[in-house]
Amino acid sequence: MDLSHIHHVAIIGSDYERSKHFYVDVLGFEVIRENHREAQQDWKIDLRLQDVELELFIKADCPQRPGWPGKEAYGLRHLAFRVDSVEDTVRELNALGIETEPIRQDTFTGEKMTFFHDPDGLPLELHE
Q: How far is CA 103 from the centre of its chain?
A: 18
Rounded Cα–Cα distance for residues 77 and 51 (Å)? 21
Q: Kindly report, residue by residue over 75-122, the tens digit of the pLDDT.
A: 778 899 999 999 999 999 999 999 999 999 998 999 999 999 999 989
Predicted model pTM: 0.86
The candidate with the shortest Cα–Cα distance to 123, out of 94, 89, 92, 99, is 99
